[in-house]
Chain A
Amino acid sequence: MEEYFKPQPIKRPFLSKGVIILLILAANGIIWSILRFGFGLGAVTNLNNQFPWGIWIGLDVAAGVALAAGGFTTSALVHIFYREDFHVLVRPAIMTAMLGYTFVGLGVMFDLGRYYNIWHVPIMGNSNSVLFEVGICVMTYLATLYVEFFPIVNERFIGRVHLKGILKFLNKPIDGFLRFADSFLGKTMFFFIILGVVLSCLHQSSLGTLMLIAGKKVHPLWQTPISPLLFLLSAFSVGFPMVIMESLTASRSLGLKPEMDVLRKLARFIGPILSVYLAFKLGDMVIRGTYVYLNEINLQTIMWVIEILFGVIIPLRMFFWDKVLHSRTLLYIASLLVIFGVALNRFNVFIIAYKPPYILQQYWPSIGEISVTVGFIAIEILLYRALVMIFPVISVPLKGVSAKAKYAIRGVIQ
C-alpha cells in the first residue's frame, strides 16, 4: 500500500501567544497545587461533609476519562476492525488518551485525602466496590496506553540515542533496550490493543455504576440502573468527536492542512452512535417515567435539558447533514457540542444531580479547585504540543520530507 502520509515530529517554534497564556494558567494551577498539598483539601477546596466530591472528581476524573475515549475507539476502529484508511488518526488519539489518563490519575491523587496510600488499592482492594474496579482498570489502562505509545518512542530514538558527557556509556544499553522493546512489542502489540479496548469498556461503564449506590441522593433524571450502559454509549459517542476536534485544533495551531477527507469519513460514524445513545437515554426516561420531573423548573432540569439539547440532539442533527461534514468550522462546532454534552453529563451526574438529604452548606467550586482543573488542561495542551514536536505523532504528507527521514522500523504497528 502506497503511503501518502507519514508521522513526523512537527517543526515549529514552541512558543506562541496561546502558549504563553497556557503557561500562565499552568503556573497558576501549580501554585494552587502547592497550597493543596501544603495545607490540605479544606484550605483549597469548598468540599464539605455534605458534598464530599467536587469538580476534581466530576470534571478532572469523570469527564477526563470520558473525553479520553478517543484513544480506545480509534484504536478499535483501525486495529481491530481493520480500517486502515483511518490510520493517520491512531497516533494522535493514543497520545491524547495517554495524556488524558495521566491527568485523570493526577486528578485522583489531588482529590484523595491520603494520596500516599494509593498503593493500598491493588493490594487491599474490595471486590464489591465499584470504585475499586474503576481504579484498577484505570491504572492498568494507563500502563497499557504507555505501552501502546512506546513504538513511537522507539521509532524516534532507535539509532539516535546520543547522550553527552558522563552519560555517554548509557547510549549503547539504551539503544539495545529500545531495539529489544521494539521487536518484543512488534510481536505482542495486538494483545495490548485488545486489552486497552476491553479495559476501556469496563471502566467507562463502571464509572456510570459509581453513583448508583448513592440511591436517592442522586436526582432521578440521572439515577438509573442502566447508567453504566449510558456511560459506555456516551464514551463511544465522544471518542470520534474528540479525535476530530483535536485534529482540527492541532492542524490550525501547528499550521498544517487538516486531513478533512479522513475526518469526514470518521464523522459519518458519529451520527448513528449518538442516535443509539439518545435512544437509550430517552427510552430509559420513558420507561421510568422520569419526564414528570421536567415539569419543575430548577437547576437539575435546566442542566438536563441543556445536556440533551445542545450536547446530543443538535450535534446529532448536524452530523447527519452533509453541509456540516464538508465545512471545517461546522464540523468543529458539532464535535465540540458532543464533547460539551458528554462532559456536562459527567458533571451533572457527579455534581448537579447529587443532592444529599441534609445540606448545611451548598457546594460551589472554589477558585483553587477551578485553578487546578484549568491548570491541568493547560498543561495537557502544552504537553501535547511538546510531544508532537518531539515524537512522530502527527502525519504530514511525505512530499518535502528529506530522504534521510524515510526509514522503516520493524515492529511498529503500521
Chain B
Amino acid sequence: MSQSRRSFLKAMGTVSLTAVGAKESKATPKNVVSDDRLGVLVDTTVCIGCRQCEYACKVEHGLPAGNIDDYSDRSVFETMRRPDHTALTVVNEYPAENSRQQSVTVKVQCMHCDHPACVSACIVGAFTKQENGAVIWDEGRCIGCRYCMVACPFQIPAFEFDKTIQPRIMKCDFCYETRTSKGLPTACVEACPTEALTFGKRYELIQIAHERIRKNPERYIDHVFGEHEVGGTSWLYLGGQEFLRLGFPDVGTNPAPGATEPIQHAIFKFFVPPVALYALLGGIMWLGKQSSEEEE
C-alpha cells in the first residue's frame, strides 16, 4: 500500500517537473522570411476615410462590392466594424485628440506578423508565412477548426459560419497570388488617393516612418505600431495619438507563439519526456508484478 502510493506520488512529481521545466526553455521559431520582405506603412494622419481601399479589396478578392458611390457614406463610422468574411479590410473612425485632425480614420486588416500566431496554431499547417512577408491560408488543407481565430492577437481571421460546405477562413492575404508575389503593390495601396498607404520593403518603411516622426514631431507620436508589436508585423502604422485610442489592441512585443511553442518543443524534444514517462510507468508495473508474484 504505502509502497505503491509512494511510487504514484513519485510519478506525479516527475510529470509535474516535466510540465514545469517545459516553460523554462525558449522558443526557436523558424524564420523563413526574407530581410527584403514587403510591407505597407499606414499613415493614419493622412487617411481621409474615403474607404476606396475597402472597395478595391472586395473587387480584387471577388467579394460583393456594391456601388462605389455608397462608399462615401460616412454614417458607417458610427459603429465600429471589424474585418470579416464579407470585407477583408475596413476603415474605422476615432475621435481625434489634437486640433489638426477632425477625426482619425484607421484602416484595419491582417497585420501579417513576422511570428504569426495563426501559423503556429494551425493544426494542419494551412497558414504559412511567405518569404515576402505575406501570411496566407491554404484552402486545400484547412479543416475548419478555427483555432487560428482563437490564437490571432489582432482578432483578424473570420469564418464563413453560414456556409454548410467548404466554409472558408477569410482574411487579408496581402494580395499574394495576384500582386505581391510578383512585387506589385496590393489593391488597397493602389486605390488609396491620398498616399496614406505606402508599399515597400519593410525595413525601408521603418526608416521612412521614423524619418516622418523626426521631421514632424508635433504631428506624430514617437511610435511605429508594428515595428516591435508581437515581434514585428509587415503592416506598420503611424499615428497622431496613442494607438490604444485608435482601436489597436494591447498586444505587447512578445510573439504569441512564444507562449506555447517552448512547451510543445520541450515535451516533444526527441520524444524524451513521453518515452521517459513510459519507461517509468513500465518499471513501476514490472516491480509491482514481481512483488505480487512473490506474495503468491
Contacts and interface: CB of A to CB of B under 8 A. Distances in A.
Interface string B256-271: 1101110110011000
A86 to B, nearest CB: 11
- What range describes how many residues of B lie at the interface? 35 or more
Given A47-B161, A48-B161, A125-B123, A79 B155 contact: no
B25 to A, nearest CB: 12
A236 B147 CA distance: 26
Contact of A115 (B12, B144, B249, B252): B144
B6 to A, nearest CB: 10
Nearest to A357: B249
Contacts of B288: 80-82
B94 interface: no
B278 A215 contact: no
A229 B19 contact: yes
B8 interface: yes
A164 B96 CA distance: 82
B264 A127 contact: yes
B125 A52 contact: no
B144 A52 contact: no
A81 B7 contact: yes
A72 B230 CA distance: 39
A212 B250 CA distance: 16
Contact of A216 (B16, B144, B251, B289): B251
A18 to B, nearest CB: 35
A131 B121 contact: yes
A37 B119 CA distance: 28
B282 interface: yes
Interface in A289-330: none
B257 A128 contact: yes
B164 A131 contact: no
Contacts, number: 214
A373 interface: no
A80 to B, nearest CB: 5
A49 B87 CA distance: 12
Nearest to B81: A360
A37 B145 CA distance: 15
Nearest to B156: A49
Contacts of B155: 50, 217, 356-358
Interface residues of A, number: 75
A144 interface: no
Given A49-B149, A117-B142, A232 B19 contact: yes
Given A114-B144, A126-B125, A213-B257, A52 B120 contact: no
A159 interface: no
Contacts of B261: 128
Interface in A1-20: 1
Interface in A34-48: 37-43, 45, 47-48
B59 interface: no
A387 B249 CA distance: 52
B277 interface: yes
Given A112-B144, A130-B260, A226 B23 contact: yes
Given A81-B288, A115-B143, A198-B277, A216 B124 contact: no
A406 interface: no
A209 B263 contact: yes
Given A128-B264, A194-B285, A232-B19, A216 B153 contact: yes
A126 B267 CA distance: 15
A276 B15 CA distance: 13
A49 B159 contact: yes
B4 A83 contact: yes
A228 interface: yes
Contacts of B8: 76-77, 81
A229 B14 CA distance: 11
Contacts of A356: 155
A131 B147 contact: yes
A340 to B, nearest CB: 23
13 contacts: A80-B281, A113-B160, A125-B124, A131-B147, A132-B124, A133-B264, A202-B274, A212-B259, A213-B260, A214-B150, A226-B20, A356-B155, A360-B80
Interface of B: 4, 7-8, 12, 15-16, 19-20, 22-23, 80-82, 84-85, 117, 119-125, 141-147, 149-151, 153, 155, 158-167, 247, 249-252, 256-257, 259-261, 263-264, 267-268, 274, 277-278, 281-282, 284-285, 288-289, 291-292, 296
Interface of A: 1, 37-43, 45, 47-50, 52-53, 76-77, 79-84, 111-115, 117-118, 120-121, 124-133, 135, 190, 193-195, 197-198, 201-202, 205-206, 209-217, 225-226, 228-229, 232-233, 236, 276, 354, 356-358, 360
Given A53-B146, A213-B257, A215-B256, 16 more contacts: A40-B161, A42-B162, A49-B85, A49-B159, A80-B285, A117-B144, A126-B124, A126-B125, A133-B268, A193-B285, A198-B278, A201-B277, A215-B153, A226-B19, A228-B22, A354-B150
